[in-house]
Copies of this chain bind each other. A is one copy, B any other.
């Protein structure tokens, strides 16, 4: 069956969007970091402590990644010594609904598979 190339392009674009979402959602740390920030942890050390088990190097990398994804903002305050604070963006809020959907499906799925 010949494939309509316009349809194929739309399909590929659609898969790419799903992949984009999964890159953020299924990373081992990204969601945990955003949750830690939502919980009120603004400083590097506080986020590190809240998560536990993440190396400073990995946390640093993931924070940079999340900043590039426009999910968090890094603010530098001109104090002595300098204060650095991380906050979640309004765009990050849109993740809440998505995580909620995943959770709901996960619960339903567990019931379907294990009956409880």
Using a CB–CB distance below 8 Å, which chain A residues touch chain B?
Answer: 14, 16-22, 24-26, 31, 68-70, 91, 94-95, 97-99, 101-110, 112-113
A25 vs B20: C-alpha distance when bound (angstroms): 13
Q: Which residues of B contact A22 (CB under 8 A)?
A: 25-26, 102
* Assembly CA distance A66 to B16 (angstroms): 23
Distance of A91 Cα from B18 Cα, bound (Å)? 20
Tell me whether B106 and A20 are in contact (CB under 8 A).
yes
Query: What 3 pairs across the A-B complex have the smallest Cβ distances?
Result: A17-B106, A26-B26, A20-B106
Question: Which residue of chain B lies nearest to A31 when distances are taken between CB atoms in the complex?
Answer: B18
Q: Are A21 and B95 in contact (CB under 8 A)?
A: no
Among residues of B, the one whose C-beta sits closest to the C-beta of A109 is B20
